[in-house]
Amino acid sequence: MNFTADKWKILAGLTILVIALSFVFPSSFYYRVAALIWISAFTVIGLNILMGYAGQVSLGHAGFFGIGAYAVAVGPTYLGIPPFFSLVLGTLLAGALAFLIGRPVLKLKGHYLAVATLGVGILISMVINNEAAWTGGPDGMNVPALGIKSLIKSWFGIKVKSAVLWYWITGFVMVCGAWVALNIIDSPTGRALRAIHDSEVAAKVSGIDVPSYKLLAFVGSAMYAAIGGAMLAFMNKFITPDAAGFLHSIELVTMVVLGGMGSILGSVVGAAVLIILPQVLADLQHYEHMMLGLIMMIFMIFLRSGIVPSIANKLKGRAA
């Protein structure tokens, strides 16, 4: 596979997609849904580096998402830290926590690793729920504005709708996140991660520092999640513990598997499917979750490698 050539094709495709969609959306609602897709896609790209390339499972990644989200709420509200610097500190905090817990946790494999990461996510969620004096507890808390909207108005005299502004911000960040991930994959680090995914024993024999590379992937994916959480909090101007909950972790993992493990483009497609389907099925009321589950089962039965890799393999088969 020519990763360099594919990298620029994927980045160009994502950039064109973000720009093109802005010409067809009829209302702010569509911009908001698309922004949610970009936020989820960005988070899932980071998780895909860990799962799809390094071959490590994480069922607690929503915990890191929650750290980023609450950092931009708690920092400005209680500590007087400007919103943007709160985002940076939240990202560093998530990365530091992932570093501290990653080395012992990543010694585990298979189901043991999944349960351990699940425990990490649950612990973070419990702290957010129980520290009501700082986080508002189950009721959540307001998030101070980042200030970009007012800055644009004062500098250029342009009034921009919040949904449209966040569509462009999240779209830009998502493309940047894809660019960083693709550069990692197209590097010695990426080759080491793929070797670990194929066989940790063979990678170790080849001279690869397996624990360090697994830890690097874990820390990087946690920082991706924290940035995603911060963007969601800024966009909604409110955050609740659900962002760090177990169900959100399962959603993120499902997006990775549905779109295709080891596929950056699959991360975007998986996020889009799981965000759009509930909107489309909302009119079915009591049957919404049943239909969502059925559709996902059909996807996984007929597209076992995930949507993007399965379609790509079929197209290659026809071309051959």
* Domain range summary for the chain, segments of one domain joined by +: 3-319
d(CA 193, CA 102): 16
Instruction: Answer whether 135's CB lies under 8 Å from 240's CB.
Output: no
The CA distances from residue 117 to 3, 59, 64, 100, in Å, are 30, 5, 11, 13
Beta pairing partners, 239: 141
The span from the CA of 66 to the CA of 134, in Å, is 14
Q: Is the pLDDT reported for residue 306 higher than 90? A: no
Average pLDDT over residues 7-15: 91
d(CA 46, CA 169): 18
Q: Is the pTM of this model over 0.85?
A: yes
pLDDT score of 83: 93
Centroid of chain to Cα 52: 13
Q: At the topology level of CATH, where does 3-319 sit?
A: ABC transporter involved in vitamin B12 uptake, BtuC (1.10.3470)
Please report the sign of the dihedral spanned by the C-alpha atoms of residue 272, residue 232, residue 217, residue 88.
positive
So what's the pLDDT on residue 320? Answer: 54
Query: Which has more pLDDT, 180 or 313?
Result: 180
Average pLDDT of the residues of the chain: 90
Amino acid found at 26:
P
pLDDT for 4 equals 58
Task: Kindly report, residue by residue over 73-106, the tens digit of the pLDDT.
Answer: 999 999 999 999 999 999 999 999 999 999 899 9
Distance CA 235, CA 214 (A): 32
127: amino acid identity, one letter: V
Whether the per-residue pLDDT at 154 is higher than 80: the answer is no
Q: Which range has the worst mean pLDDT, 36-45, 262-271, 281-290, 299-308?
A: 281-290
What confidence tier does 297 reach under pLDDT thresholds 50, 70, 90?
A: confident
Give the count of alpha carbons within 13 A of 94, CB side only.
33
pLDDT, tens digit, 9 for 90 and up, residues 106-147 = 999 888 998 999 999 999 999 999 999 999 999 999 999 887
pLDDT score at 1: 45
pLDDT in tens, 210-266: 999 999 999 999 999 999 999 999 999 999 999 999 989 999 999 999 999 989 999
Percentage with pLDDT > 90 across the chain: 71
Place of tokens 């298979």: 110
Q: 40 pLDDT exceeds 80?
A: yes
Taking residues 284-305, report their average pLDDT: 78
Q: Which residues contact 248 (CB under 8 A, 6 or more apart)?
A: 62, 65, 242
The residue among 148 and 81 whose pLDDT is bigger is: 81
